[in-house]
Amino acid sequence: MINIKEKLTEQNLLKYKSYGKKGADILFALFRYMILLTVGYIVLYPLLSMIVTSIQSLDSMRESIRMWIPTEFAIKDNYTLAIDVMKYGKSLGVTLLYMMVPAVLQIATCAIAAYGFARFDFKGKGILTALLFITILVPDIMIVIPRMVSYTRLDFLGILGLLDKLTGIDLRPNIINTVWAMYLPALFGAGVRSGILIYIYIQFFKGLPKELEEAAWVDGANPLRAFISIAIPSSGVVILTVAVFSLIWHWNEIVNSSMFLSGKMPLSVQIKYFSKNMSAILTDHGNRDYNSVAIKNSACILFIAPMLVFYMIVQRWFIESIDRVGITG
């Protein structure tokens, strides 16, 4: 074994010593950076453009030659107006309470379902797996109206409806514009794009060694206990991955939130109706000198900023850990 390794390094050294190889390496490195920088520019362009535009005044924008260098700043004007239009503080609170909490709930509930799929065999598993794939493939918009109708009179498995028919007492609650419109599906692992999250978990749990948990079962721990104290602690990596996806998707969620939370207006819905709200407020101010393009850009920055900060904090572990997730089978 050692011999082979020594030979390998010798060979490598010989290869790398030759000048031609070195030249090619440098050329390749240049080529690599060129491509990566070009693509990096494309990738970051929306963000850079948003930042630069959002801090400029109207006059500064008109000097289109110096696109990246603002001549006159209007940071305060732009951002205060954007905050006003979006009712930022309130909407942020709504997003946190109505969207981020279910996102976190989903991280847990999807793990439970996926563990059942990955670790156990039971009758009807094939059909359930097929069902899982169908949930992944159906766009939310397709089922949003029937859900809307059922949410206005939430009927748990027909029991309350039966009660209504028998006694005339209608106990069916209307959960539109309440937290439950988002919490209930998430609690049952059927929230925003939960199918994909479950799928990621399944792939990971399948790759996890079974022996430890089986030993725990033999020692008398029930599978739930084995799941919580053995499988979960060794799944930090995949939980982080799922958390990033879940939080980002919930943050940007628009179909469900614009329907079920129309009276609450989380940030994503505020962004959707921003132009309309902005023109109303600008007319109120009666001032035509505002830079509406810059205000829109400020709003976008304000919208993506929390997620961007979140991503910057976790990206070190996220990017490193994705190497080890093993979701790739």
Residue 232 binds to another protein (criterion: CB under 8 A): no
Stretch that binds another protein, among 71-79, 97-105, 159-167, 275-283 (CB under 8 A): 275-283
User: Residue 73: phi, psi to the nearest 5?
Assistant: -95, 150
- Cα-Cα-Cα-Cα torsion 83, 88, 89, 93, nearest 10 degrees, comes to -170
Candidates 84, 93, 96, 275; binder of another protein (CB under 8 A) is 275
Candidates 74, 189, 230, 290; binder of another protein (CB under 8 A) is 189
* Runs of H (alpha helix) within the chain: 2-17, 19-54, 58-62, 75-86, 88-94, 101-119, 125-137, 140-152, 159-167, 180-187, 194-207, 211-218, 223-226, 236-251, 255-260, 267-272, 274-285, 292-325
Residue 180 binds to another protein (criterion: CB under 8 A): no
Residue 288 binds to another protein (criterion: CB under 8 A): no
Span 131-170, contacts to another protein by CB under 8 A: 131-132, 134-147, 149-150, 152-153, 156-157
The least CB distance from residue 221 to another protein, in Å, is 12
The least CB distance from residue 143 to another protein, in Å, is 4
Candidates 93, 161, 173, 326; binder of another protein (CB under 8 A) is 326
- Determine the size of the site formed for another protein (CB under 8 A): 104
Candidates 173, 273, 282, 317; binder of another protein (CB under 8 A) is 273
Candidates 79, 115, 201, 260; binder of another protein (CB under 8 A) is 115
Q: Is 53 within 8 Å of 294 (Cβ atoms)?
A: yes
Place of tokens 């069902």: 131
Other Cβ atoms closer than 10 A to 294: 27
Residue 248 binds to another protein (criterion: CB under 8 A): yes
Residue 23 binds to another protein (criterion: CB under 8 A): no
**Distance spanning both ends of the chain, measured CA to CA:** 29
Longest dimension (CA), the chain: 91
Nearer to another protein, 59 or 280 (CB): 280
Residue 104 binds to another protein (criterion: CB under 8 A): no
**Residue 62-91 contact track with another protein, rule CB under 8 A, x = bound:** ------------------------------
Nearer to another protein, 103 or 271 (CB): 271
Residue 290 binds to another protein (criterion: CB under 8 A): no
Separation of alpha carbons 150 and 235, rounded Å? 36
User: Residue 174: phi, psi to the nearest 5?
Assistant: -95, 115
Distances in Å between the Cα of 87 and the Cα atoms of 83, 91, 286, 295 are: 6, 6, 19, 14
Stretch that binds another protein, among 27-35, 71-79, 90-98, 160-168 (CB under 8 A): 27-35
Which CB contacts under 8 angstroms, 24+ apart, belong to 216-224?
223/119, 223/120
Residue 44 binds to another protein (criterion: CB under 8 A): yes
The least CB distance from residue 192 to another protein, in Å, is 11
Separation of alpha carbons 198 and 75, rounded Å? 43
Residue 196 binds to another protein (criterion: CB under 8 A): yes
Separation of alpha carbons 37 and 304, rounded Å? 23
